[in-house]
Amino acid sequence: MDALKAAFGKQLEKQANKVIGDVLGKVTGGNVKMPGALSEEEAPAPVPFSSDCSGRKKAVFVGINYFKTKAELHGCINDVKNVQAFIMEQYGFSLENIKVLTDEPASGNEPPTRVGHGDGWWEGEGRGEVERGRAPSILTLPFAHRRDMTFVRIPQTNILDALRWLVEGATAGDSLFFHFSGHGGTARDLDGDEVDNFDETILPVDFESAGQILDDEIHAILVAPLPAGVRLTSVFDSCHSGSAMDLPWSYKVDGSLDVVIIDNRKAAMEAVFNAGVAYFKGDKQRAMGHGMEAVKHMLTPGGNEEARKKAEKERTNTDADVIQFSGCRDDQTSADAKIDGQPTGAASYALLTCLRENSKQTYTDLLQSMRKVLEGKYTQIPQLSTAHPIDLKVAFTM
């Protein structure tokens, strides 16, 4: 599908626009605008950074390998160690203002659980090569095929507590950093705030018993409380992580490595694309069907409309500078790789490789260079999302 989009994207877009335009004209009288990439006229002016990163620096790292489970990964703890060492050396983060949560045995790190007590690590045999988004399938297995679990008492701490600690007392000038390396997933959206009807999630080590952590929760804890003048930089090396923080503005690298701003209306755009494919094949009836589907996504109350309202609200619910790098789009998986003989997440590796080569490059250059590192080896496409439109030509810093 991605290859088809790359090869025929412009032509399909033109055909799709014609089909959907016809449908919209008949159904709405032409009063509903097409979803998709924002034009230069529609794109809002970038908001200058209000943060200068001159104050306190705090960071939280979460790396989960899911040891001895069918969902086991191999590079997540290495990711945390490598990124932590780099930001301490390069950007002046100090150990006393860093929390590290991993499931590495006997590491002394706080455990990366969702709940604060009564849960521990899984017992079992065997290791599975898994991408960083396959873990939720464990929930669908017959009980007899699941790993047996034993529970041990752990300290009263967890991922959500660590996130609250990260933003607690934040004031203008502070620079905050959050890095998650592990499984990402999706969960059925229950509050009507997602265009594609699914929340994006991260999976704590106790996700089978305590549940996943929703993007809504991450946004409420990490983004909403931050005042103006604070900069929060986050990295999600996990599957389905494109909107893991529910940030309203997204930037992606297109085929020519240009960065374009897009509005988060994914379900409607997918229907638009499918309409273009059908029309290109000469199947006008199927094209019209997909066109009606796109219209439904744009018009159905409680679906796209609620998501649009939520996005509008999120655009104004924080004045802080919040930037998220994610390893892939919401519909993609993020690779658990082995590079130079060492297990690592492909996205974390790409980020470190690019920043080591040039730690002062702009956000545009960093996003493009990460894409180049991954291109040809992995299908995932790194994403950049923000709480408000930013000037991508500003040098990256923390």
CA distance 78 to 231: 25
Tokens in use for 240? 């389905």
Q: Are residues 220 and 325 in the same domain?
A: yes
Would residue 41 count as lying in a domain? Answer: no
Do strands 383-386 and 249-253 pair parallel, antiparallel, or not at all (unpaired)? Answer: antiparallel
Is position 378 within any domain?
A: yes
Active centre residues (catalytic): 183, 239
Query: Do residues 243 and 273 both lie within one domain?
Result: no
What's the CATH number where 73 sits?
3.40.50.12660
Residue 28 is predicted with a pLDDT of 42
Same domain, 95 and 62: yes
Residues 194 and 63 in one domain: yes
Residue 391 resides in a domain:
no
For residue 284, tell me if it sits in a domain. Answer: yes
* Position 43 in a domain: no
Question: Residue 178: beta bridge partners?
Answer: 60, 234
Residues 226 and 261 both lie in one domain? no
Q: For residue 336, what are the contacts with CB-CB under 8 A and spacing of at least 6?
A: 73, 74, 75, 76, 129, 130, 131, 132, 343, 345, 346
Residues 155 and 265 in one domain: no
Which residue stretches of the chain have pLDDT < 50? 1-10, 12-13, 20, 23-24, 26-36, 117-156, 190-197, 255-258, 263-264, 297, 299-305, 313-316
In a domain, 398, yes or no: no
182 and 138 in a common domain = yes
**Domain end position, chosen among 310, 333, 353:** 310
Domain range for 15 = 2-34+257-310
Co-location of 320 and 354 in the same domain = yes
| Cβ–Cβ under 8 Å, residues 391 and 324 | no
> pLDDT tens digits for 133-171?
434 333 332 222 223 333 232 233 589 999 999 999 999
- Number of domain units in the chain: 2
Same domain membership, residue 344 and residue 242: yes
What pTM was estimated for this model as a whole?
A: 0.69
Contact 58, 176 (CB under 8 A): yes
Q: Do 305 and 331 belong together in one domain?
A: no
Same domain, 142 and 272: no
pLDDT tens digits along 46-100: 778 889 999 999 999 999 988 888 888 888 999 999 999 999 999 999 999 999 9
Tokens of 142: 């017959």
Residue 132 in domain: yes
Same domain (yes/no): 226, 342: yes
